């Protein structure tokens, strides 16, 4: 198994409400792909993602 970290994917829906979902992934790109597979709105509107944050306190990695 890869070195998985917890990522929060934040996006805005059609009414501009911010929604966050968490995924375990090896990097921010994989977290984005997982979010697109899991959430139909993100699949249809991939540019609605406004933040992907790594929740692993050690890495402090942030991707937008």
Residue 11 has pLDDT above 80, yes or no: yes
The count of C-alpha atoms lying within 13 angstroms of the C-alpha of 53, restricted to the half-sphere facing its C-beta, is 10
Q: Residue 2: what pLDDT?
A: 60
Question: What residue spans define the domains of the chain?
Answer: 5-63
Q: Tokens 């059609």 map to which residue? A: 14
- In the chain the first and final C-alpha atoms are separated, in Å, by 25
Query: What 3-state DSSP class applies to 31?
Result: helix
Q: Which CATH number among 3.10.20, 1.20.120, 1.10.287, 1.10.3470 corresponds to the domain 5-63?
A: 3.10.20
Mean per-residue pLDDT for 9-20? 96
Predicted confidence at residue 56, as pLDDT, reads 79
DSSP code of residue 27: S
| pLDDT tens readout for residues 22-62 | 999 999 999 999 999 999 999 999 999 999 999 976 655 55
CA 29 – CA 33 distance, rounded (Å): 6
Residue 63 has pLDDT above 80, yes or no: no
């Amino acid at each position: 198994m890869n070195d998985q970290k917890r990522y929060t994917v934040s996006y805005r829906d059609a009414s501009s409400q911010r929604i966050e979902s968490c995924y375990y992934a090896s990097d921010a790109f994989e977290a984005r792909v997982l979010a697109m597979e899991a959430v139909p709105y993100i699949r249809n509107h991939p540019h609605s993602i406004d933040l992907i944050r790594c929740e692993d306190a050690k890495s402090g990695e942030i991707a937008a």
